[in-house]
Structure 1
Amino acid sequence: MMLSLLLLILLLGSNCKASFMGTVVTYYAKTTTSNKTAAVVYTQDTYEGPTSPVSWLCNSKDCGSAITNSNHHTVNFLGNLYEQQYIWYMVPNSDLFQMWLYGPYSPWVSNVDGGRIGQAVAVIDLRKRSDTNKANSSPQTAIIPLRVPSNCQRDFNLLAFDPDGDDVRCRYGNASLSESYTYKKPPFFNLSSSCTLSFSPTSSSKEGAYVVQMVMEDFPKENITLTQTNGSQEVKTNNDAISKIPVQFVVRVDPAVPSCTEGLYLPRILTPIPDRLYTIVNQPVLINITAEALNASLSQVLYSGPSTINLNRVLPGQYVMSWTPPEDNGGESHPICFVVEADNVLPKYHSELRCVIVTVGNATATATATINNSNKAVARLIMRVSSSLPLDDIKNIITQLIKDELTILGLSDVALDLNIVANTTNTGG
């Protein structure tokens, strides 16, 4: 197949060593000033040690114009591990196109199961959905290289959030479709369609690094019609995937630990971590993390998420993660996933994987629709909100959240007006 548009290519030459440790691709649909649909594509590629980025290719000329964000960010988040993030702004020639990971320049790190070169494909579908009246966006997720002792059972619950409200399902990649490189899947790993990767205890002879090459897809909860800009249409059922993104990473099976009980050697996260947080552009969101490991030393928090995240160690075992979304992230939901790491001389231990979706609202309300009073429904909503944000910002966030939920339920053409009829400030305990 002809690959004519090279988004990113670097001649690695003698520096082409086995260092690739995984990739994730997600995208959002945006409307340009000329009323065209653009794809904002986020690629996150992980390496063992500093190296040049992998190469992503587009099929034919379907991607149209592609511009990378020059302010790409490299995160040194695990000693000698690096995550490089790129943001691509594309105004495609087609509402449906694919991106490929160019394998020869991305050899996997040394591993047990035979993964040799990186190979992945992302299907980007920007056709307008009949249920939301908007272009489709992909599932949102993030991942980092993970560790598990060989004698401990562990479930890695991967983040699988879809901004359009679709069902998200996971499966292993198919090498014949360029979704993965051919490799032998070990029997002690099991991937469910609900995106949980389970590890069963195994013998010490099976210790080492294992490559996980999976695909995440979104399926509509009911029949919908996808419409291209040229007017052609396609009906998608609950059995038809819309977009497809690669989720690839390494799980290192380490020597057995004296106890698999969390909080002894394996770090235990003590603070409740919400599944979802909300903020508006230019307003920070905070994630407080407290962990313990009585027989090991907590060393750091390893994370994957927006490149402008700040992580601060407050006290031993206490961390604060903060992120302030910029203007162009308004209307998007961004994933943050992390583990707490501990060590005991040489072995390293990971906590369970935790993930948060941060939904970002715009700074001001944008609804301008006029509603006939005779058709207006009034609902009384009683809630208690604790926030340092101004009252107008709180109103805008709540309004946007209600709209998002109504859109998921199929009520996309709804205008809301949130009026506060009582405002009581209680500073007591």
Structure 2
Amino acid sequence: MLNRFILSILLQGLILFLLGPACDASSLGLTVHAVPLDSDDGRTVVAHFTAIAPSPCPSLSGLCAAEDVDCMVHTTSLPFSGTKPDPGWCVRQWYKTVPSNYSDIISLGSDTEMYVSMNAGPKVRENSGRLNQPPYVALPPPLRARVNCPHHVHLSAKDLDGDKVRCRFARPEDDECMNCTEHSFIELDEEKCMLTFTGKAPAGQYFIHLMAEDLVPVPKMRDVTDHTPLSAVPVHLSLTVEESSSSCTDEPVAIGETPTEDSTMFVLPYEEVKFNINYMSELESVTEVAVVGPPELYRVGFNTVGPLAMMTMAWIRAENQLASLLPICFAVNTNNLQSEPRCVWLYQREMKTLPAGTELTCNDTEMTLVLPVASLIDIDLAELQLNSPTCPINYNDTYLTAHISLNGCGTKTVHAGSELVYTNTLQTVHTSIIRRVPSLTLPLACRIPGAQVKGPQYQISIPTEKETFGNVDFWIEVHLPGEGPLSKFTKFPKFRTLPVSPGRLRREAKLAKSESSDTSINTRDEVGSRLENLDLHLMSNCSIDRAELLVSNCIESETEDFAESHPILDQGCTASNDTLEIITTESTSKIYRLDLSNVQTQGSTMYIRCTVNLCISTLPSQECPDLCTRSLNQRSVVSSLFTKSYTISSGPVSLVVTTPAPKATVTPTPATTVAQTTDRAPEQASAMAAGVILATISILLQNVFLH
């Protein structure tokens, strides 16, 4: 009887626990990169944690105890964060020395809790006699997918020992996870580390717990029965499934010079690596580039121009406590879509200790290198050179010497934290096609302390917008057809019919000369009657040759605050077949003929807001990109310079006739009397509305001028 009573109480408690709300939220992603320590034969590892927490971003306190010298939180001046999925997220990174077989519950702030379990050895490899290095798996930004849209996610993995990396679901029976569920709509190709979302899941947020294992690669012809992995490290992911009415093929895609998936960039001490990413998003404008990478990864120049999105990333290898392999994963988000995540890797090359007798002396104008020749065994001294081959290297039977100018010899200048660093590299440049000979790569650096450095800590060598385009200004003017400063183009217009958004299939431009007055002037002249047409002028003061005005979006609203708005142009395409572009020879201006019968505003006044850029193609054979096309010329993107994206607004624009048209007049001539009728289009109040710059989105960006 007593046993039944106790069992009843336990069951009630369990039911209340299961039905009650969760007290802690899961992380939106987690990876651990484990580096075995030789000092204790791999019984402990330095575990490098990267975790993604939902907003509001948790504090860094609590990850490391004050007295724990083997634990440190990585702070960065450029935190990784994003807004999608709602309510947003941020990245926390830290390292801690832990046992190689480790499990723990880690709290990020008061709202996020993670159970971490790993088996990182120790294992001594038979082929090398060294400690096995567990695999590295890159952590993508929080994943997004859509109901009924199958989605594939490739997990980028590397192994320093060259082992095969396999991914599998974490097993709760082996204490690898807690409260983890294998979802029926998530499939996993273990050998390829490929996740597949089948699309058969309701909207919501789901968590995926994996383990990544490394296995010694075995030739296919060998019959090996023991496939025991050498180690297993955790990988936690989140997937937010959202409702959507758009096509499953509308996600943004990487284009142009964006690095390829899984590519590796080797980084010497104090070397700067830099790359550009470019994306095309046909359906919706990109709102952010979501990035998860190493501390102090610089992200500059985020800019959107119609369907194009671009950004530059750069990282400088200063002295750090990071792992040898550093992944950078990125994806672009729109309001409803996400691109396929892509990951690249930075490999911090391990440098050997300099031979005894090596000296590098720094002064105000040069660095002087003295290197014992005896240490350069089997190195062909004649093949050694600095960044610039014009800078001489001298050597005899005893020493190699080089006087390296800080302003020449190919010396580069970088900012590492608060330090200014001058860098050069002495390396072998083979003159023959034979590569099976020893070579040398010796990075050289002179560091100036932060107290002596003036100016910003980091700069990317991009020309400023003012240097390229001058002092630019943009504004909106609205005129009656045939009037305004560009009336010579609007009196007898030639029209360009643009594709209608969102179907951005590129059509041949249609040119049609106006043959009737109702396409160029308004026929109504009664005061208070609604106008039929208006010409929207988007203007710029730029006078640089070959500069072109690009228009990404325009909206109209009955109110100045644009609380409710309707599209005129979207992603460079028109929102209606009745909105036509008027062809001009003014490349820094655009004119659109608006058919007011299709304007959503029903009142007597409307306001217009547009997003514009200026563009210069750096190659004479290329033109700036046409924003409204699916067959965008990628070369025109990477070979063009863009200004910031400017948002400009009009003042109030009257949609009704405010001044009657003048009456017909009769003018006599000496020979005969001829009746001449001049039908002047009626004027409108606030017909010309000057634009106001509301916001800037980004900075000038183009790799053509990056050095």
- TM-score normalized with structure 1 length: 0.67
What is the CA–CA distance in structure 1 between the aligned matches of 2:355 and 2:187, rounded to whole Å? 46
Give unpaired runs (5+ residues) of structure 1: 1-14, 58-64, 109-116, 224-235, 407-414, 420-429
- From 300, 310, 319, the equivalent of 1:312 is 300
Q: What secondary structure is seen at the aligned counterpart in 1 of 2:173?
A: helix
Query: Does the aligned pair in 2 maintain the 1:221–1:238 contact within 8 Å?
Result: no
1:28 matches 2:29: no
Q: Which residue of 2 aligns with 1:153?
A: 150
What is the CA–CA distance in structure 1 between the aligned matches of 2:269 and 2:26, rounded to whole Å? 36
Q: Which residue of 2 aligns with 1:221?
A: 217
- From 64, 78, 85, the equivalent of 2:82 is 78
Q: Which residue of 2 aligns with 1:177?
A: 174
What is the CA–CA distance in structure 2 between the aligned matches of 1:295 and 1:129, rounded to whole Å? 51
Question: 1:252-271 counterparts in 2 under 5 A?
Answer: 252-261=240-249, 265-270=250-255, 271=257
- From 127, 131, 146, the equivalent of 2:127 is 131
Could you tell which deviates more after superposition, 122-131 or 43-52?
A: 122-131
Q: Deviation of residue 26 (structure 1)?
A: 0.9
Could you tell which deviates more after superposition, 323-332 or 275-284?
A: 323-332
RMSD: 4.3
Q: Deviation of residue 167 (structure 1)?
A: 0.7
What amino acid sits opposite 2:52 in the alignment? T
Q: Which residue of 2 aligns with 1:339?
A: 331
Question: 1:186-335 counterparts in 2 under 5 A?
Answer: 186-193=183-190, 194-202=192-200, 206-222=202-218, 239-261=227-249, 265-270=250-255, 271-274=257-260, 275-316=263-304, 317-328=309-320, 332-335=324-327
What amino acid sits opposite 1:277 in the alignment? M
What is the CA–CA distance in structure 2 between the aligned matches of 1:221 and 1:350, rounded to whole Å? 35
How many residue pairs match? The answer is 342
Higher relative CO (Cα under 8 Å, sequence separation at least 6) belongs to 1
What is the CA–CA distance in structure 2 between the aligned matches of 1:21 and 1:396, rounded to whole Å? 46
What is the CA–CA distance in structure 1 between the aligned matches of 2:61 and 2:23, rounded to whole Å? 10
What is the CA–CA distance in structure 2 between the aligned matches of 1:54 and 1:356, rounded to whole Å? 30
Q: What secondary structure is seen at the aligned counterpart in 2 of 1:311?
A: strand
Cα gap change, 1:72 to 1:331, in 2 (>3 Å): closer
Query: Does the aligned pair in 1 maintain the 2:63–2:108 contact within 8 Å?
Result: no
Q: Which residue of 1 aligns with 2:640?
A: none
- TM-score normalized with structure 2 length: 0.42
Give unpaired runs (5+ residues) of structure 2: 1-21, 357-373, 389-409, 413-422, 442-707
1:87 matches 2:95: yes
What amino acid sits opposite 2:79 in the alignment? V
What is the CA–CA distance in structure 1 between the aligned matches of 2:79 and 2:242, rounded to whole Å? 24
What is the CA–CA distance in structure 2 between the aligned matches of 1:332 and 1:66, rounded to whole Å? 21
Question: 1:415-426 counterparts in 2 under 5 A?
Answer: 416-418=438-440
Q: Deviation of residue 209 (structure 1)?
A: 0.8
Query: Does the aligned pair in 1 maintain the 2:59–2:108 contact within 8 Å?
Result: no
- From 92, 97, 115, the equivalent of 2:101 is 97
What amino acid sits opposite 1:159 in the alignment? S
Cα gap change, 1:76 to 1:314, in 2 (>3 Å): closer
Cα gap change, 1:19 to 1:118, in 2 (>3 Å): closer
What is the CA–CA distance in structure 1 between the aligned matches of 2:27 and 2:197, rounded to whole Å? 22
- From 156, 160, 164, the equivalent of 1:163 is 160
Q: What secondary structure is seen at the aligned counterpart in 1 of 2:425?
A: helix
Q: Deviation of residue 37 (structure 1)?
A: 8.3
- From 40, 46, 70, the equivalent of 2:46 is 40
Residue deviations 1:187-227 (CA, integer Å, cap 9, x gap): 22101112100112226xx111111111101111259xxxx
Q: Deviation of residue 394 (structure 1)?
A: 7.5
Cα gap change, 1:330 to 1:86, in 2 (>3 Å): closer
What amino acid sits opposite 1:393 in the alignment? T
Q: Which residue of 2 aligns with 1:67?
A: 70
Q: Deviation of residue 35 (structure 1)?
A: 9.9
Query: Does the aligned pair in 1 maintain the 2:379–2:440 contact within 8 Å?
Result: no
What amino acid sits opposite 2:30 in the alignment? T
Residue deviations 1:24-81 (CA, integer Å, cap 9, x gap): 111223556x999863211112211123579889xxxxxxx86112544593411331
Percent identity between the aligned chains? 21
Residue deviations 1:332-388 (CA, integer Å, cap 9, x gap): 121111111112xxx3x11001011211124667699x99x9xx899xx9xxx99x7
Question: 1:342-421 counterparts in 2 under 5 A?
Answer: 342-343=334-335, 347=336, 349-362=337-350, 393=425, 395=427, 416-418=438-440
Larger Cα Rg: Structure 1 or Structure 2?
A: 2
Question: 1:43-54 counterparts in 2 under 5 A?
Answer: 43-49=49-55, 50-51=57-58
Q: What secondary structure is seen at the aligned counterpart in 2 of 1:147?
A: strand
What amino acid sits opposite 1:134 in the alignment? R
Cα gap change, 1:47 to 1:36, in 2 (>3 Å): closer
What is the CA–CA distance in structure 2 between the aligned matches of 1:104 and 1:301, rounded to whole Å? 24
What amino acid sits opposite 1:256 in the alignment? S
Q: Which residue of 2 aligns with 1:61?
A: none
What amino acid sits opposite 2:118 in the alignment? A
What is the CA–CA distance in structure 2 between the aligned matches of 1:37 and 1:174, rounded to whole Å? 24
